A and B are shown apart, each in its own frame.
Chain A
Amino acid sequence: MPKVTVDGQEIEVPDGATVLQACELAGKEIPRFCYHERLSIAGNCRMCLVEVKPGPPKPQASCALPATEGQEIRTDSQMVKTAREGVMEFLLINHPLDCPICDQGGECDLQDQAVAYGRGGSRYHENKRAVTEKYMGPLIKTIMTRCIHCTRCVRFSEEVAGVDEIGALYRGEDMQITTYLEQAAQHELSANVIDLCPVGALTSRPYAFEARPWELKKTLSIDVSDAVGANIRLDSRGREVMRALPRINDDVNEEWLSDKGRYMVDGLTRRRLDKVWIRKRGKLQQATWEEAFKAIARAKPGKSIAAIAGDLVDCETMFAARKLLGAMGSGLLEGRQTGMDYPADNLAAMAFNSTFAGIETADAILIVGSQVRHEAALVNVRLRKAARRGAKVFVVGPQWETTYPAEFLGEDVSVLGNLPAEVAEVFDKAERPAVIVGAGGLAAGAFEPALALAQGWSREGWNGFNVLHTAAARMGGLMLGYAQKGGMAEVAKAEPKVVLALGADEVDWSAFDKSLKVYIGHHGDKGAHAADIILPGATYAEKDGTYVNTEGRVQFAEKAVFAPGDAREDWTILRALADALGVEVGFDSFAELQSAMIAEVPALGVEGLADLGPLPKAAKGGKGKGGTISYPVADFYLTNPIARASAVMQRCSAELARGEEILEAAE
């Protein structure tokens, strides 16, 4: 723990800290462009110069200089001030001063730091450099003349995403950042370089010229595009969500966000259900709320009512439906739309127990039936980190392009029963062995054998059994009892008179021919096509709600905008439906609903990891039936109704997933 002096203030810094970090610890702001906490150190922008004694009598780049015992660091001397002014002047030599037409304006590091640390005016009278724009795909807009060559984007794609595709070509004044042959950036995290870019060189293409940051209302929310539960901020103007940005949460998403979570927000305004619809003589026709509620009451469901939760719903909606069904005397709740029927009586066996931050420290990882890049892109980042630290990764399931060295052991679950000796040895010797069972593995019956394996490799103080779900609502649903023993087949067998589909769009509705299908949801997608009555609901951006991610982490999202047209927040619809059906559910406001929910499932009331109890004992002889694994996500960009409605996601799907040629309109 070296002791250093920063501007006369003596502090102790951790071993291995840099001078820049020491200054930060002392509360001094150090301007920087290339330095980023989560990327390797480049030291090429020179903005972080400070004066360090002992050392050469010149300013030094603090980001790349280790803090050592007895250093005297000055960040407020005349030398530092002139050095910063000088560096800023050089950076601005070739930077176009086009802030008024730049999308980064208002949230630009260069702009802010030029004001804080730059000279008052320019002394440069020569021509500025101009760089041709580079195509980087449908999400990233490039104005490369603005680039200051910090290489954050290059380091991100190489180190974090693990897809080496951005590079710096040529040199000196001609240095240009580009992808190979200007191909589109092709991975699930590509748009994070937009946040990383300290200037306006890489900006968001769908959001181009849409709004200025100071016009936007910022709401804290949770991403529902996968089960990671990335912390996001929804920026909205009026009734429209303009963009989603990641928030920093080291336990969940660090500061990244998948492209889908970021760019499906334009789907919030498209293909929306904003009217009540009733199917009359095979055709959906507009109706009023009263007519719809009467039609449902006329079906006289009694006990014969079921609720199926979709992938995006919040816990409050699911709880309200559970209350309603309970009041009717039914317990037919199911959330695993595609018909999976894994045992759900022990929640610890259904969670990502190692936690996302913990899986980084695993040293042997067995992935069973999960295309992690598509099912949880941010977990893949963690797995890559683990692999970079030396973890050995094995995959059971069809081949996919990993971003780290991984060995594929076969496509059939039966391989879990007789792992190759050298693989078993790796896990036996590992200090923190982990098993990750994905949705594909669960569907193929890998749960029991995987649990048995994990228990064979159990270590003190380490829980290596993980289930990686694909739906944001899944963990919450399981905690609220949205699981029947036989899965969807059980619900279908009960032949309920009324089925409440809470945004359920992946269900095979042919099994419910005789039921009155009431769809409560927000998008005119598969569920609405099959429905007899459509009650327009709210998306995740339009209601407060609790979500539980695959780790069992309870998180709250806030309402950013109002739902369009006649659409209502889902719990109010269910409350009104209770009146129409003549039953009492015991809540009249969202607060009452929430406290009722917390009273029944206390874990949902505390933000953070829920205590799910110990793992169950694996069944003896649980060698698995054996089944071929197939991955549930066919197209990363179109996994939920919001994404399917989003024009940006459709284009990504066409261009990046299916490789279609998209012609640019002449600008």
Chain B
Amino acid sequence: MADRTPAPDTPELRERWGSFEFTADYKAKADKAIARYPEGRQRSAVMPLLDLAQRQVGEETDTQGWLPLPVIEYVARYLDMPVIRVLEVATFYFMYNLKPVGKYHVQVCGTTPCMLRGSDGLFETCKKRGMKKGAVSEDGLWTLTEVECMGNCATAPMVQINDDNYEDLTPERLDTILDALARGEQPKTGTQEPGRHTSEPLGGPTTLKEMVEANHDYRGEW
């Protein structure tokens, strides 16, 4: 996390992004986000606006999107708030990218449950394809990040790629997904385990079995 610093403020950066503005589409979404809060409290919409800005940058650069400093300043102006307050938010949350990323931002969970279920293998798979942690791969497609728990421990190990989660992974399954993404296809999201729908236990319920059919009062059995 220590390398999570904003991309340096260079003349090139200013030139590329200095004139950034929401497109009509994004502007409508941004104004909708602002309208959710009372008048004069437009600052509360800083998080959705940063997200929208990141997405628009992503569309313009054909990547997942990131937040160059001029874009952060634009959001600050849009919400009439000090830019340092926007930067505080942008640097606090991990989902705002402060540096350019690839088209697919592969975020592999390395926290204990995923690690026990084989996330090390997933990192290997990614690295074999030329991904490096915190950097964009040469073909511009991938950025690999190790993240902490994303809350899918029941279906560990998992990977988040842009807006989708892929769970119950093995190196082979991840390879298939990445191949599909590289071809421009949209692989099945969620669990990759055949026969599993979400995070239900494999092979039928293991606890609270009486609850499957009807509501059951367990209190007498404690």
| B92→A170 contact, CB < 8 A | yes
Q: Does B84 contact A (CB under 8 A)?
A: yes
| Given A174-B4, A181-B9, A167 and B69 contact (CB-CB distance below 8 Å) | no
| A180→B1 contact, CB < 8 A | no
Q: Does B82 contact A (CB under 8 A)?
A: yes
| B88→A174 contact, CB < 8 A | no
Contact of A167 among B1, B2, B9, B84 (CB under 8 A): B84
Report chain B residues within 8 Å CB of A171.
91-92
| B84→A164 contact, CB < 8 A | yes
Q: Does A148 contact B (CB under 8 A)?
A: no
Cα distance, A169 to B88, chains bound together (Å): 5
CB neighbors of B among A153-209 (8 A) = 164-172, 174, 179-181
Report chain B residues within 8 Å CB of A168.
88
Contact of A169 among B9, B69, B91 (CB under 8 A): B91
Cα distance, A165 to B88, chains bound together (Å): 11
Q: Does B77 contact A (CB under 8 A)?
A: no
Query: Nearest residue in B to A183 (C-beta to C-beta)?
Result: B84
Cα distance, A168 to B91, chains bound together (Å): 9
Cα distance, A181 to B92, chains bound together (Å): 16
Cα distance, A320 to B58, chains bound together (Å): 75
Shortest Cβ gap from A189 to chain B (Å): 16
Cα distance, A171 to B93, chains bound together (Å): 8
Report chain A residues within 8 Å CB of B83.
180
Report chain A residues within 8 Å CB of B2.
174
Cα distance, A181 to B88, chains bound together (Å): 12
Interface centre among B1, B83, B88 (most CB of A within 10 A): B88
CB neighbors of B among A224-240 (8 A) = none
| Given A180-B83, A181-B69, A167 and B88 contact (CB-CB distance below 8 Å) | yes
Cα distance, A568 to B81, chains bound together (Å): 53
Report chain A residues within 8 Å CB of B85.
164, 167
| B88→A172 contact, CB < 8 A | no
Shortest Cβ gap from A119 to chain B (Å): 29
Report chain B residues within 8 Å CB of A174.
1-2, 4
Q: Does B147 contact A (CB under 8 A)?
A: no
CB neighbors of A among B159-205 (8 A) = none
Cα distance, A165 to B87, chains bound together (Å): 11
Contact of B82 among A165, A169, A170, A172 (CB under 8 A): A165
Shortest Cβ gap from A581 to chain B (Å): 61
Cα distance, A164 to B88, chains bound together (Å): 12
| A180→B87 contact, CB < 8 A | yes
Query: Nearest residue in A to B88 (C-beta to C-beta)?
Result: A167
Query: Nearest residue in B to A169 (C-beta to C-beta)?
Result: B91
Contact of A164 among B1, B4, B69, B82 (CB under 8 A): B82
Interface centre among A164, A170, A179 (most CB of B within 10 A): A170
Shortest Cβ gap from A128 to chain B (Å): 14
CB neighbors of A among B1-39 (8 A) = 1-2, 4, 9
Cα distance, A562 to B43, chains bound together (Å): 54
Query: What total of chain A residues lie within 8 Å of the partner, measured CB to CB?
Result: 13
Query: Nearest residue in A to B69 (C-beta to C-beta)?
Result: A181
Cα distance, A180 to B81, chains bound together (Å): 13
Shortest Cβ gap from A342 to chain B (Å): 39
CB neighbors of A among B71-120 (8 A) = 81-85, 87-88, 91-92
Shortest Cβ gap from B79 to chain A (Å): 13
Report chain A residues within 8 Å CB of B84.
164-167, 179-180
Report chain B residues within 8 Å CB of A181.
9, 69
Query: Nearest residue in A to B82 (C-beta to C-beta)?
Result: A164
Shortest Cβ gap from B80 to chain A (Å): 11
| A169→B1 contact, CB < 8 A | no
Query: Nearest residue in A to B73 (C-beta to C-beta)?
Result: A180
Cα distance, A181 to B87, chains bound together (Å): 10
Query: Nearest residue in B to A176 (C-beta to C-beta)?
Result: B91
| B87→A170 contact, CB < 8 A | no
Contact of A172 among B1, B9, B81 (CB under 8 A): B1
Cα distance, A660 to B142, chains bound together (Å): 43
Query: Nearest residue in A to B90 (C-beta to C-beta)?
Result: A169
| B91→A170 contact, CB < 8 A | yes
Contact of A170 among B1, B69, B81 (CB under 8 A): B1
Shortest Cβ gap from A441 to chain B (Å): 30
Cα distance, A170 to B94, chains bound together (Å): 9
Query: Nearest residue in A to B93 (C-beta to C-beta)?
Result: A171
Cα distance, A172 to B82, chains bound together (Å): 22
Report chain B residues within 8 Å CB of A166.
84
Cα distance, A254 to B204, chains bound together (Å): 70
Report chain A residues within 8 Å CB of B4.
170, 174
Cα distance, A326 to B92, chains bound together (Å): 70
Shortest Cβ gap from B31 to chain A (Å): 23
Query: Nearest residue in B to A171 (C-beta to C-beta)?
Result: B92
Report chain A residues within 8 Å CB of B69.
181
Cα distance, A181 to B81, chains bound together (Å): 16
Query: Nearest residue in A to B72 (C-beta to C-beta)?
Result: A180
Shortest Cβ gap from A129 to chain B (Å): 9
Cα distance, A308 to B88, chains bound together (Å): 53
CB neighbors of A among B56-71 (8 A) = 69
| B87→A167 contact, CB < 8 A | yes
Query: Nearest residue in A to B81 (C-beta to C-beta)?
Result: A164
Shortest Cβ gap from B67 to chain A (Å): 13
Cα distance, A166 to B84, chains bound together (Å): 7
Shortest Cβ gap from A55 to chain B (Å): 29
Report chain A residues within 8 Å CB of B9.
181
Shortest Cβ gap from B89 to chain A (Å): 10
Cα distance, A636 to B130, chains bound together (Å): 57
Query: Nearest residue in A to B2 (C-beta to C-beta)?
Result: A174
Cα distance, A167 to B92, chains bound together (Å): 12
Cα distance, A181 to B85, chains bound together (Å): 12
28 A–B contacts, CB within 8 A, in A order? A164-B81, A164-B82, A164-B84, A165-B82, A165-B84, A166-B84, A167-B82, A167-B84, A167-B85, A167-B87, A167-B88, A168-B88, A169-B88, A169-B92, A170-B1, A170-B4, A170-B91, A170-B92, A171-B91, A172-B1, A174-B2, A174-B4, A180-B82, A180-B83, A180-B84, A180-B87, A181-B9, A181-B69
**Known pairs A164-B85, A171-B92. 17 more at Cβ < 8 A?**
A165-B82, A165-B84, A167-B82, A167-B88, A169-B87, A169-B91, A169-B92, A170-B4, A170-B92, A171-B91, A172-B1, A174-B4, A179-B84, A180-B82, A180-B87, A181-B9, A181-B69
A-B residue pairs, 4 tightest by C-beta: A164-B82, A167-B84, A180-B84, A169-B91
Residue ranges of B at the interface with A (Cβ–Cβ < 8 Å): 1-2, 4, 9, 69, 81-85, 87-88, 91-92
